[in-house]
Structure 1
Amino acid sequence: MERPQHITRVVLVGITWLLSMQSGFSQHAYRDSIYKAYSRGKMDKWYTIMHGCEAQVDANKVEEQIELLNYYYGYTAWLVGAEKYDTAETYIDKSEELIEKLLEESPENATLLAYKGAYLAFEIGISSLKAIFLGPKSMKYINKSIELDPENIQGNIEKGNSMFYRPSAFGGDKMEAIAYYIKAIESFEKQGLVVNNWLYINTLTALGQAYEATDQIQSAKLCYEKIIRIFPNFMWVEDELYPDLLERHKL
């Protein structure tokens, strides 16, 4: 089974989930289907759903295009984590083309700027040699996102990812990453963006991993238990991360 744990650049999004019910495109339906695929680690299903969305998206509706970008983002993160680099490059190119198009129309859209920073980070994930020149560019867009909207979900997730994965010698700080993940999670919850939302659960999982990485074991345990309580069929946490944590720390 292909597990979803490689979607670690969490993920995560200042998208307003507008429930568009017009013919051919229902964001609610796509969101639920994507969540089900993610929770069971079925990235082949994710691919099929994503391309169904791609075929139906209205090029004149920004919210539909951002919805599609969300799916590209999750799939690209998985591809990079699974070291499927050639395919990842294809989706990086598609996504960056879409981001640039949307930024021409909305140059100060905080979510799009955070995505731009995220895709530069994906390129670093494919080739660490690019970090020296792409790293600062990625952070410029992520920081700009948060400057424009301190509560932006995607901006806070990407800032958390940057702090978590960047070496401490280059400014990484896992404790600081935790603060950004928590802020993103609080925004999800305040805005009611938690039901069948793959990005919310992915961000919670990133928080649990960050707690464990900083030896906050009880906090990690509580975080994983929250996930199991709210999302009882999320295989990555229920079958792997949580039992592994209990075994490692004799809990």
Structure 2
Amino acid sequence: MELKGKVAVVTGGTRGVGAGIARALAGAGAQVVACARRAPEVPLDGVEFAPLDVRDPAAVRAFFTALPRLDVLVNNAGGGPYRLLADADAERHARVVELNLLAPLTVSLAAYEHLRRSTGSVVMIGSVSGSRPSPGSAAYGAAKAGLENLARSMAVEWAPDIRVNTLVVGMVRTELAHLHYGGADGVAAVASTVPLGRLAEPSDIGAAAVFLASDAAAYITGSSLLVHGGGERPLFLDAATANKET
């Protein structure tokens, strides 16, 4: 799964999952550019930083026009705050959809000609929130569901020149994990609900992205790869009384 000689762009690639992906692509031999609004707080060896707000279509088009070549695009930029639907107006929720769905479309269209010439690959970073109820992040979940569907349609329209796949990511231990799950005890409690017994590390997501971007996945397009440690243990298994010792 080598990417030697390839040029890769990772949006939102300066921290968390994006940084893990950027490091993994660079480790596989790619020349990597990480785009974000702010420079990385921790240096990313072998990764070039380029300032870019993916919600600015004109800036996105200018950035990709200036690139001499592109082989791999990872649409990772995204996220959203915890916000119940009734606690904000539609315009505020729409900003979450803009970042997580419309921005990847804008970026992909801007990168299209480069990727077509190089017979390249797009990797969308989806979420398990796109396929389950997501109270407190409903707009984010809806956007991620749309992103996965967009990737499937894009894969058909852009074949055979460009492969497009989605990594459906579960819970990840990043530098911001405590904001979602609490301290060490909270992280451990959440990790216990995952069949593999831990949260993902950014490097786990990076390794999966390298696979989809590489020739090892040459016959894979329009697919969604679950990277979630087995998902979540169904609650009914704990609630069921059959076969329990009394």
Query: Is the TM-score greater than 0.5?
Result: no
More strand by proportion, 1 or 2?
2
